[in-house]
């Protein structure tokens, strides 16, 4: 399999923005505590998820949100968390994100919950995860708008490639084409992605790339994986995604 | 990651029934023609997909079906292929399989098309693929019924584990539990799978296992995979599956 020559090998970019701490903790559960990789690569990479690295849960307010969280974010969460359980499910998350972004498809929402979920509740997100998700989507929205040069609300395949690359993700061209084909409406016109599809697409790539990185701690672009590990890496995506 | 101790390591079983030849050909496109692995393991393993190994396309009738295909299978195909194009899409396949099996969900149907698709048409199946798919489902139905001891039309997680194992698939218990959770209706009662869900579940496991095997040609249970290959192995499932 040829690597992506344009961006060199390994194809993913070591300075990729990290997913939030809760996500990394989840990933490293049971891995023997090998945090060196993330520490090495999460410094000075422009990650916007710094709160979890400097502040433990004890510094969180009783609302559960990290200090300094935008009141609009807290309000969006609390508006849908009507039973004040501190957790919101897929429909509630869809509604909560609508206030700041747009109405995402439930498929994208479930993928986001899978990637940002609370370690204690695999089907819902709490305040900490919601704040991290909101920040991440803000970053992705910025990148999306940067590449949506004509402000049409859509980006094409080349713009998607560049947008993913700026998120630290350089996938093989054949995989990119396949991903894009998912959004082909069969009309013969050029395939374009709206922000919902961009997030869905990018989160699949990001989630799988991070799973691979866990097995490639030295950043060689190659990993030795046994069968059980491979299945455990991939199957959860299928379960969460449908 | 612990291997599945019950069944030893590697967890998948070398005598696993193979997917049909068209599937194997598709998998080996671009791999330098390393057919040795399948030849080595497909002999004497009870596979019911032997027609493709002995007979080339030239021996097919003008209907496109392998010689000896059950007329009921041909009839099921032709009844839905109204334009006589020789290919049927997802809705048509759903209808065609209803005559011999049941009405599968479109999600399962799309997964089946992905795994059995014609090399020339990624979204449809032709007579050869349809015949192979019918045979495969017959085999899976037999196994399902064997483990559905009370003839309820459903199997539980332990029966699923044993059914998959008898198909040559031994996945880690944690992955099995996760797969099963997909079918949990939240009522608190024991999760059970009908034949549709069994096929969906099993085909995901089978498809990913076969992808892994391509990278583990010596059957060691472990494979060295580079990033581009990993993404190319997994992303197509996501695209096909939704």
Cis peptide leading into B166, omega within 30 of 0? Answer: no
From A172, A228, A230, residue closest to B228, measured CB to CB: A172
Q: What separation in angstroms does the CA of A237 have from each of A131, A170, A211, B41, B167?
A: 22, 20, 11, 30, 23
Strand, coil or helix: A196: helix
Q: Is the dihedral of CA A235, A236, A239, A242 positive or negative?
A: negative
Cis peptide leading into A10, omega within 30 of 0? Answer: yes
Whether B219 and chain A come into contact, CB under 8 Å, resolves to no
pLDDT of residue B62: 53
ipTM of the complex: 0.76
* Domain architecture of chain B: domains with CATH: 18-241 (1.10.238.10)
More confident residue, A59 or A129: A129
Whether B241 and chain A come into contact, CB under 8 Å, resolves to yes
Strand, coil or helix: A129: helix
Instruction: Tell me whether residues B216 and A227 touch, CB distance under 8 A.
Output: yes
A43: its two tokens? 């410094």
Whether B13 and chain A come into contact, CB under 8 Å, resolves to no
Q: Can you tell me the distance from the alpha carbon of B180 to that of B160, in angstroms, rounded to the nearest whole number?
A: 9
Q: Can you tell me the distance from the alpha carbon of A100 to that of A97, in angstroms, rounded to the nearest whole number?
A: 6
Residues A174-192: tens digit of each pLDDT:
999 888 988 888 788 889 9
From B174, B230, B241, residue closest to A232, measured CB to CB: B174
Nearest-Cα distance to chain B for A62, in Å, is 30
Residue B4 C-alpha from the chain's centroid: 22
Q: Which residues of A touch B224 (CB under 8 A)?
A: 222-225
Strand, coil or helix: A128: helix
Q: Can you tell me the distance from the alpha carbon of A241 to that of A200, in angstroms, rounded to the nearest whole number?
A: 10
Query: Residues of A48-85 as b/e, b for ≥16 C-beta within 10 angstroms?
Result: ebebbeeeeeeebeeebbbeebeeebbebbbebbeeee
Best A230, A233, A236 member to test B by mutation, with max B CBs in 10 Å, is: A230
From B174, B204, B212, residue closest to A227, measured CB to CB: B212
Closest CA to A229 of B118, B11, B182, B184: B11
> A109-118, A164-173, B60-69: which has the minimum mean pLDDT?
B60-69
Biggest alpha carbon distance in chain A? 55
Q: What separation in angstroms does the CA of A132 have from each of A232, B6, B78, B213, B214?
A: 25, 40, 53, 38, 38
Residues B171-191: tens digit of each pLDDT:
899 999 888 988 888 788 889
Whether B138 and chain A come into contact, CB under 8 Å, resolves to no
Instruction: Tell me whether residues A228 and B178 touch, CB distance under 8 A.
Output: no
Query: Binning pLDDT at 50, 70 and 90, where does residue B10 land?
Result: low
DSSP A224: E
Instruction: Tell me whether residues B175 and A235 touch, CB distance under 8 A.
Output: yes
pLDDT of residue A22: 42
Residue A58 pLDDT > 80, yes or no?
Answer: no
Mean pLDDT across B217-239: 92
Whether A25 and chain B come into contact, CB under 8 Å, resolves to no
Q: Can you tell me the distance from the alpha carbon of B71 to that of A207, in angstroms, rounded to the nearest whole number?
A: 46
Q: Can you tell me the distance from the alpha carbon of A223 to that of A226, in angstroms, rounded to the nearest whole number?
A: 10
**Beta bridge mates, A222:** B226
The percent of residues in chain B predicted with pLDDT above 90, rounded, is 53
Whether B208 and chain A come into contact, CB under 8 Å, resolves to yes
Residues 32-71 of B with CB under 8 A from A: none
Query: Binning pLDDT at 50, 70 and 90, where does residue B239 land?
Result: confident
Instruction: Tell me whether residues A175 and B12 touch, CB distance under 8 A.
Output: no
pLDDT of residue B240: 78
Q: By the 8 A CB rule, do A130 and A73 touch?
A: yes
Q: Which residues of A touch B231 (CB under 8 A)?
A: 171-172, 175, 205, 208-209, 212
Q: Can you tell me the distance from the alpha carbon of A211 to that of A10, in angstroms, rounded to the nearest whole number?
A: 15
Instruction: Tell me whether residues A228 and B4 touch, CB distance under 8 A.
Output: yes
B131: its two tokens? 């015949």
Q: Can you tell me the distance from the alpha carbon of B19 to that of B31, in angstroms, rounded to the nearest whole number?
A: 18
Instruction: Tell me whether residues A11 and B230 touch, CB distance under 8 A.
Output: no
Q: Can you tell me the distance from the alpha carbon of B17 to that of B138, in angstroms, rounded to the nearest whole number?
A: 13
Best B185, B203, B214, B238 member to test A by mutation, with max A CBs in 10 Å, is: B238
């Amino acid at each position: 399999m040829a690597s992506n020559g344009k961006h060199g090998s390994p194809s993913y970019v070591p300075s990729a923005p990290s997913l939030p701490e809760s996500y990394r903790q989840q990933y490293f559960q049971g891995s023997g505590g090998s945090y060196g990789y993330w520490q090495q690569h999460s410094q000075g990479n422009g990650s916007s998820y710094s709160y979890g690295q400097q502040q433990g849960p004890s510094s969180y307010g009783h609302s559960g949100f990290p200090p300094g969280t935008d009141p609009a974010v807290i309000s969006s969460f609390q508006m849908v968390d009507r039973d004040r359980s501190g957790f919101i499910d897929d429909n509630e998350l869809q509604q909560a994100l609508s206030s700041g972004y747009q109405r995402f498809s439930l498929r994208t929402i479930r993928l986001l919950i899978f990637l940002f979920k609370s370690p204690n509740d695999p089907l819902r997100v709490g305040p900490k995860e919601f704040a991290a998700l909101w920040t991440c989507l803000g970053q992705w929205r910025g990148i999306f708008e940067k590449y949506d040069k004509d402000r049409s609300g859509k980006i094409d395949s080349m713009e998607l490639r560049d947008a993913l690359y700026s998120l630290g993700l350089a996938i093989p061209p054949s995989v990119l084409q396949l991903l894009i084909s998912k959004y082909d409406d069969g009309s013969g016109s050029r395939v374009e992605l709206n922000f919902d599809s961009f997030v869905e697409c990018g989160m699949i790539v990001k989630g799988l790339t991070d799973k691979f990185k866990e097995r490639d701690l030295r950043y060689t672009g190659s990993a030795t994986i046994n069968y059980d590990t491979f299945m455990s890496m991939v199957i959860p995506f299928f379960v969460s995604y449908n």
